[in-house]
């Protein structure tokens, strides 16, 4: 193990420029990915806040008996998707309207606005399909005039989120592939540069695993360094955006750890593929 | 110890290098492998340390059979034999001592045992005063002694030498050859490919002569009146 560590350090010392270059390319690949993930994290958070406000409003026909309404409220409140269902009387509706909208300040006739049932869904049931399914069920009550749930709006939000996720995955895979190729190329050069040494190691009975170890460690170290550098760059970008444009959230520990682990994985994978292929040739 | 049974070796681009070769090297034996360039001497040595595997036939070295050997077994086999070359194959940026220690380090030998073993070997090959010299600071003969010390590091049962004196002057040649004799006297078999017929004549070791991939003369079989075409299997 001592020899392996020494060899790994030696690899950095022997080709400092090349090593720095490969760390930088991993860092920049992960940095671009990091920026994207940062955007995705913030969109996601914004979506979650918006989602919490997703509600279904059922307008009640005038003259509906109070008992029927109370029974319906109980029914709807017991739907598995529903967090809570509140009845809004005509008076309450008017009061709210007057508080929120200036145009209603002079209206005092409660009959002007219909009574309604306000339904909030549980987290996890706020996707467009569930929302419209619940809305359809509420519509079956004979005294329900109309059901509104901002269908278009909910769908659009979800589309944005799906697009963001898909773009993130595609970009992530593409950048990872680029980083793997770059790491592979640097390891290839390192293997070929040390061909003589490797052939001597073989001659005196070093196993393939032993010969491979320093190269794998080299890739791993470069991946971790690249990951940390990318994280620093992303943090810098984040604080710049937060100070000048909009306040954003940074990654939590889980994503930070995952990012560095991803860098390490890229480094390890790139060197493993390359070292396996090129060791056979020297 | 080392047994070739109807071994042929054909290189993809080099054609037939060995053509139905059969011989046996006994434990502790010293054997020369002679013949013109391209006769197949180096191919035989490569087959022994399993750098190459035969196209036909079977090579058996210390219980390892070429027909069913796995890569990990080849690494283990090489720890039981030592190999030296005409061009020494030392690591240029490491001292004599480090070059020898390197062979122990790559086999994950315990650290504590390395230093004492290396200094014992340097003394054995007569280079204890040059332990910290880099290869380029050593003469050809001295570099070959370092290479031999490295080959002996795991107490091999056989030392394989491919033209070990090919790059050396007469004096250095005699010194290296004497070292090989001493090693053989201590019980290690030596299989040495050489062009140097002077060395071969001066000693009475077994001689296997090759030409065009075949054994054309084997002194051990000549002595027992066996066939000399190399196709017979020694008992």
Shared domain for B189 and B149, answered yes or no, is: no
Residue A204 to residue B77, Cβ atoms within 8 A: no
List, in sequence order, every residue forming a beta bridge with A181; answer none if it has no partner. Answer: none
Domain that holds residue B53: 1-80+157-235
Cα–Cα distance for residue pair A44/A252, rounded to 1 Å: 14
Shared domain for B179 and B211, answered yes or no, is: yes
Residue A202 to residue B49, Cβ atoms within 8 A: no
Chain B interface includes A3 (CB < 8 A)? yes
Chain B interface includes A61 (CB < 8 A)? no
Chain B interface includes A206 (CB < 8 A)? yes
Q: Which residue of A has its CA nearest to B93?
A: A197
Quote the minimal CA–CA distance from A20 to chain B in Å. Answer: 23
* A235 three-class SS: helix
Shared domain for B58 and B97, answered yes or no, is: no
> How many contacts, defined by CB atoms under 8 Å, are there between A and B?
48
Q: Which residue of B has its CA nearest to A197?
A: B91
Chain A residues whose CB is inside 8 A of the B153 CB are 204
* pLDDT given at position A78: 86
Cα–Cα distance for residue pair A115/A69, rounded to 1 Å: 10
Residue A259's nearest CA partner among A41, A20, A71, A102 is: A41
Name the domain boundary from B100, B120, B155.
B155
Name the domain boundary from B110, B134, B155.
B155
Shared domain for B99 and B133, answered yes or no, is: yes
Whether the complex's predicted ipTM surpasses the cut of 0.85: no
Cα–Cα distance for residue pair A149/A168, rounded to 1 Å: 29
Shared domain for B5 and B70, answered yes or no, is: yes
Shared domain for B169 and B71, answered yes or no, is: yes
Chain B interface includes A204 (CB < 8 A)? yes
Shared domain for B67 and B167, answered yes or no, is: yes
Full pLDDT tens readout for chain A, 282 residues = 666 777 777 777 777 777 787 788 788 878 877 887 787 777 777 767 766 666 788 888 888 888 888 888 888 888 888 888 888 888 888 787 777 776 666 766 666 678 888 888 888 787 778 888 888 888 888 888 888 876 676 677 777 777 877 877 787 778 778 878 877 887 888 788 888 888 898 998 888 888 898 889 988 998 999 999 999 998 998 898 888 887 778 888 888 998 899 889 988 988 888 888 887 776
Chain A residues whose CB is inside 8 A of the B75 CB are 202, 205-208
Instruction: Strands of chain A (E only): list them.
Output: 55-60, 82-88, 116-121, 144-148
3-state secondary structure labels for all residues of A100-166: HCHHHCCCCCHHHCCCEEEEEECCCCCCHHHHHHHHHHHHCCCCEEEEECCHHHHHHHHHHHHHHHH
Give me the residues of chain B with pLDDT under 50, please.
Answer: 226-235
Overall pTM > 0.95: no
* pLDDT given at position B231: 45
- Ranges for all domains in chain A classified under CATH 3.30.70.3040: 55-148
* pLDDT given at position A151: 65
Cα–Cα distance for residue pair B25/B4, rounded to 1 Å: 9
Per residue in B158-188, pLDDT (tens digit) is 999 999 999 999 999 999 999 999 999 999 9
For an interface test with B, which of A1, A205, A212 has the most B Cβ atoms less than 10 Å from its Cβ?
Answer: A205
Into how many domains does chain B fold? 2
Torsion of CA A26, A28, A34, A39, to 10 degrees: -160
Topology (CATH) of A55-148: Alpha-Beta Plaits (3.30.70)
């Amino acid at each position: 193990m001592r020899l392996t560590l020494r060899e790994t350090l030696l690899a950095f010392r022997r080709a400092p420029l090349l090593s720095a270059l490969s760390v930088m390319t991993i860092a920049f690949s992960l940095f671009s990915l990091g920026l994207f993930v940062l955007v995705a994290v913030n969109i996601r958070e914004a979506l979650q806040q918006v989602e919490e406000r997703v509600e279904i409003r059922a307008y009640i026909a005038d003259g509906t008996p109070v008992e029927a309404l109370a029974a319906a409220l109980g029914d709807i409140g017991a739907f598995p998707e529903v967090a809570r269902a509140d009845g809004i009387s005509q008076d309450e509706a008017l009061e709210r309207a007057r508080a929120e909208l200036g145009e209603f300040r002079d209206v005092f006739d409660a009959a002007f606005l219909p009574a309604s049932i306000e339904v909030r869904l549980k987290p996890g049931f706020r996707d467009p399909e569930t929302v419209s399914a619940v809305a359809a069920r509420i519509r079956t009550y004979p005294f329900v005039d109309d059901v509104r749930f901002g269908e278009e709006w909910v769908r659009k939000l979800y589309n944005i989120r799906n697009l963001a996720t898909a773009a993130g995955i595609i970009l992530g895979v593409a950048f990872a592939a680029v980083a793997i190729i770059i790491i592979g190329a640097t390891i290839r050069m390192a293997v070929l540069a040390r061909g003589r040494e490797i052939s001597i190691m073989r001659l005196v009975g070093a196993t393939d695993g032993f010969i491979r170890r320093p190269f794998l460690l080299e890739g791993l170290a470069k991946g971790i360094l690249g990951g940390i550098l990318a994280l620093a760059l992303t943090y810098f970008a984040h604080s710049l955006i937060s100070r000048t444009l909009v306040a954003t959230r940074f990654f939590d520990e889980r994503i930070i750890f995952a990012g560095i682990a991803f860098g390490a994985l890229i480094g390890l994978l790139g060197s493993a593929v390359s070292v396996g292929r090129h060791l056979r040739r020297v | 110890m080392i047994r070739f049974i109807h071994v042929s070796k054909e290189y993809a681009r080099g054609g037939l290098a060995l053509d139905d070769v059969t011989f046996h090297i006994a434990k502790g034996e010293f054997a020369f492998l002679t013949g013109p360039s391209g006769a197949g001497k180096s191919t035989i040595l490569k087959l022994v340390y399993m750098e190459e595997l035969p196209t036909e036939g079977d090579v058996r070295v210390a219980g390892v059979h070429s027909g069913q050997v796995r890569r990990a077994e080849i690494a283990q086999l090489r720890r039981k034999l030592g190999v030296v070359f005409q061009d020494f194959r030392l690591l240029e940026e490491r001292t004599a001592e480090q070059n020898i220690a390197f062979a122990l380090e790559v086999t994950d030998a315990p650290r504590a045992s390395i230093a004492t073993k290396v200094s014992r070997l340097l003394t054995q090959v007569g280079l204890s005063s040059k332990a910290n010299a880099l290869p380029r600071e050593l003469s050809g003969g001295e570099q070959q002694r370092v290479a031999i010390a490295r080959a002996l590091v795991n107490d091999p049962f056989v030392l394989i030498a491919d033209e070990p004196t090919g790059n050396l002057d007469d004096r250095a040649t005699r010194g290296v050859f004497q070292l090989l004799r001493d090693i053989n006297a201590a019980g290690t078999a030596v299989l040495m490919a050489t062009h140097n017929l002077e060395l071969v004549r001066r000693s009475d070791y077994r001689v296997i002569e090759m030409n065009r991939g075949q054994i054309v003369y084997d002194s051990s079989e000549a002595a027992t009146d066996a066939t000399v075409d190399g196709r017979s299997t020694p008992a």
